[in-house]
Amino acid sequence: MARVLLGVTGGIAAYKACELCRLLVRARHDVVPLLTPGAERFVTAQTFRALARRPAAEDVYLHLTRADLLVVAPLTANTLAKFAHGIADNVLTEAALAHRGPMLVAPAMNPRMWSHPATRTNVEALRARGVELVGPDEGETAEGELGVGRMAEPGEIFERAQELLGGKSVLKGKSVLVSAGGTREPIDAVRFVGNRSSGRMGVALAAEAARRGARVTLLGANLAVAHPAGVEVVETPSAADLEREALARGADADVVVMAAAVADYRPAGALTGKRPKDRATWTVELEPTTDVLALLGATRTEGTVLVGFAADRGETGLERARAKLRDKGADLFVFNDVARTDIGFDAADNEITLLGADGERTIAKAPKEEIAAAVLDEVEGLLGR
Ligand code: CTP
């Protein structure tokens, strides 16, 4: 988790900073909003405190000493000029002067102010000091003028912020293999034995690993959710496909996360054509599949971090997950309780217990994106050893 100072200055685009704040919080960053007096004419400090989940009576000055990133969005011409000249007359300009890490700014102003030589000089001064700019974009301003001056979209600012923060992740440049979804085992040409996994958790893990700068391959088993950006997706609809692709890639990966619900059994001797309906009973015999995770655990190369998932029920399920961690030779197991309907399979949220050699830790119910970040924080700790 990184600490991000989020500066907001007095422009009409200040309301868009709410969305940026939400995205940063959702990515599990510790966000400290710093509003200038000008910003408070457009948005309230209370809104940002609520979005950043910060207590009302908090003294933000305490947090200015250590921050991984300072983001300012929107950045007005006025505050941009103050930054360029080192003026420190409010909490944000003071923070900017005291901050030693990366700084990302999203200017927003009237196009004529943006193109004015004074602003050009100030922008160059900031760039020369390593300040990163995102936008401004071309478009119609709030006053109805066309030109360059509109603040970049919150999503774009967020992505850039994540990239800058990713520079610190030990996952940067590492190769990560993630399996996601649920396999389908053919009975005949059109029928299959499947399960309810949507692939959301594995996709969130792949997306988060990519955000942290890893080279990610996702083995997708019938994903019900969109493919994440910046990730190579290999379709592995059945347990046999997944086994083949995982074994071909597993040995070279730094991290393998087996989030897919791989079938434990497949119909023996699946029919190639479609079996026509008749009045007779149809008995399908199931044969065991290969346990891919256990095989990877048994043949692992040193230094690889191997993560397994256990979808099981209650305290006995947790006990079984402990046994799986040991028996499958994994470094980390992620347990979620499928007895609950508000988390896990096909739900947006999850609540997990992380099981490792060093002990266990429960991550409170949160969107799967936040859970993914918590799992990868743990993986980073294991990689760093
Ligand atoms: N797994 C695997 N290959 C299989 C089955 C499971 O790699 N053929 C992996 C899953 O991706 C997951 C973990 O093993 O990481 C789940 O363990 P397992 O206990 O085998 O799966 P469940 O079916 O959830 O448990 P149970 O033993 O209760 O059936």
C-alpha 360 to ligand 1 mean position (Å):
20
Query: How far is Cα 6 from Cα 75, in angstroms, rounded to an integer?
Result: 11
Establish whether residue 222 lines the binding site of ligand 1, counting it when its CB lies within 6 angstroms of any ligand atom. no
What is the widest separation between alpha-carbon atoms in the chain? Answer: 86
DSSP structure class, residue 225: S
* Residue 349 confidence (pLDDT): 83
Of 103, 138, 165, the position where a domain reaches its end is 165
Cβ 216 vs Cβ 178: under 8 Å: yes
**Claim to verify: residue 237 and residue 374 sit in the same structural domain:** yes
Query: How far is Cα 247 from Cα 234, in angstroms, rounded to an integer?
Result: 13
Query: How far is Cα 199 from Cα 196, in angstroms, rounded to an integer?
Result: 9
* Residue 272 placed within a domain: no
* Residue 117 confidence (pLDDT): 97
Q: For a ligand 1 pocket test, name from 293, 322, 345, 352 the mutation site with the most ligand atoms within 8 angstroms of its C-beta.
A: 293
Q: Whose CA is nearest to atom 21 of ligand 1?
A: 310
Taken in order 125, 126, 130, 136, is the CA torsion positive or negative? negative
10-residue mean pLDDT profile of the chain (385 residues): values are 92 96 90 95 94 81 77 98 96 93 95 96 93 92 84 94 82 96 98 95 93 93 91 97 97 97 97 95 97 96 94 94 97 92 77 94 86 93 84
**Claim to verify: residue 329 and residue 355 sit in the same structural domain:** yes
C-alpha 42 to ligand 1 mean position (Å):
52
- Which atom of ligand 1 sits closest to the CA of residue 293? 7
Residue from 71, 97, 249, 68 nearest 166 by CA: 68
* Residue 366 placed within a domain: yes
Residue from 157, 147, 16 nearest 8 by CA: 16
3-state DSSP assignment of residue 295 = helix
Establish whether residue 311 lines the binding site of ligand 1, counting it when its CB lies within 6 angstroms of any ligand atom. yes
Establish whether residue 292 lines the binding site of ligand 1, counting it when its CB lies within 6 angstroms of any ligand atom. yes
The residues, ordered by sequence, that sit 6+ positions from 337 with a Cβ below 8 Å of its Cβ are 312, 313, 314, 317, 318, 343, 344, 351
**Claim to verify: residue 121 and residue 194 sit in the same structural domain:** no
Q: For a ligand 1 pocket test, name from 241, 255, 264, 335 the mutation site with the most ligand atoms within 8 angstroms of its C-beta.
A: 264
**Claim to verify: residue 12 and residue 37 sit in the same structural domain:** yes
Q: For a ligand 1 pocket test, name from 222, 245, 291, 337 the mutation site with the most ligand atoms within 8 angstroms of its C-beta.
A: 291
Q: Whose CA is nearest to atom 9 of ligand 1?
A: 293
Cβ 179 vs Cβ 221: under 8 Å: yes
- Which atom of ligand 1 sits closest to the CA of residue 290? 8
146-156 residue pLDDT tens: 899 999 999 99
Q: Which residues are catalytic?
A: 195
Q: How many domains does the chain have?
A: 2
pTM over 0.75: no
Establish whether residue 324 lines the binding site of ligand 1, counting it when its CB lies within 6 angstroms of any ligand atom. yes
* Residue 250 placed within a domain: yes
C-alpha 288 to ligand 1 mean position (Å):
12
C-alpha 85 to ligand 1 mean position (Å):
59
Query: How far is Cα 254 from Cα 343, in angstroms, rounded to an integer?
Result: 29
* Residue 35 placed within a domain: yes
3-state DSSP assignment of residue 211 = helix
**Claim to verify: residue 221 and residue 160 sit in the same structural domain:** no
Return the half-sphere exposure (C-beta side, CA atoms, 13 A cut-off) of residue 213: 16
Provide the total of helices (H) and of strands (E) in the chain, helices listed first. 12, 19
C-alpha 33 to ligand 1 mean position (Å):
43
C-alpha 243 to ligand 1 mean position (Å):
12
**Claim to verify: residue 324 and residue 181 sit in the same structural domain:** yes
**Claim to verify: residue 78 and residue 179 sit in the same structural domain:** no
Question: Where do the H-state alpha helices sit in the chain?
Answer: 16-26, 45-51, 77-85, 91-98, 111-115, 117-128, 154-166, 200-211, 239-250, 292-298, 314-327, 368-383
* Residue 200 confidence (pLDDT): 93
**Claim to verify: residue 218 and residue 129 sit in the same structural domain:** no
* Residue 301 confidence (pLDDT): 86
- Which atom of ligand 1 sits closest to the CA of residue 330? 15
Of 165, 195, 211, the position where a domain reaches its end is 165
Tokens of 67: 């921050």
In angstroms, how far is CA 179 from the centroid of its own chain? Answer: 16
* Residue 271 placed within a domain: no
Q: Whose CA is nearest to atom 23 of ligand 1?
A: 264
Return the half-sphere exposure (C-beta side, CA atoms, 13 A cut-off) of residue 378: 26
Query: Cis (ω within 30 of 0) for the bond into 186?
Result: no
Query: How far is Cα 146 from Cα 373, in angstroms, rounded to an integer?
Result: 40
CATH number where 314 lies: 3.40.50.10300
> Residue 259 belongs to what domain range?
175-265+280-383
**Claim to verify: residue 257 and residue 354 sit in the same structural domain:** yes
For the chain, how are helix, strand and coil distributed in percent, rounded to 5?
35, 25, 40
Which residues share a beta bridge with 192? 186
Establish whether residue 293 lines the binding site of ligand 1, counting it when its CB lies within 6 angstroms of any ligand atom. yes
**Claim to verify: residue 188 and residue 128 sit in the same structural domain:** no
* Residue 179 placed within a domain: yes
* Residue 6 confidence (pLDDT): 97
231-241 residue pLDDT tens: 999 999 999 99
* Residue 257 confidence (pLDDT): 98
Q: For a ligand 1 pocket test, name from 262, 327, 334 the mutation site with the most ligand atoms within 8 angstroms of its C-beta.
A: 262
* Residue 165 confidence (pLDDT): 87
C-alpha 164 to ligand 1 mean position (Å):
36
* Residue 367 placed within a domain: yes
* Residue 202 placed within a domain: yes
Establish whether residue 258 lines the binding site of ligand 1, counting it when its CB lies within 6 angstroms of any ligand atom. yes
Of 145, 165, 185, the position where a domain reaches its end is 165
Residue from 114, 101, 127, 121 nearest 74 by CA: 114
**Claim to verify: residue 335 and residue 369 sit in the same structural domain:** yes
**Claim to verify: residue 204 and residue 98 sit in the same structural domain:** no
C-alpha 275 to ligand 1 mean position (Å):
30
Cβ-in-10-Å burial (0-12, 13-18, 19+) of 287 comes to exposed
* Residue 142 confidence (pLDDT): 72
Establish whether residue 264 lines the binding site of ligand 1, counting it when its CB lies within 6 angstroms of any ligand atom. yes
Establish whether residue 335 lines the binding site of ligand 1, counting it when its CB lies within 6 angstroms of any ligand atom. no
* Residue 5 confidence (pLDDT): 96
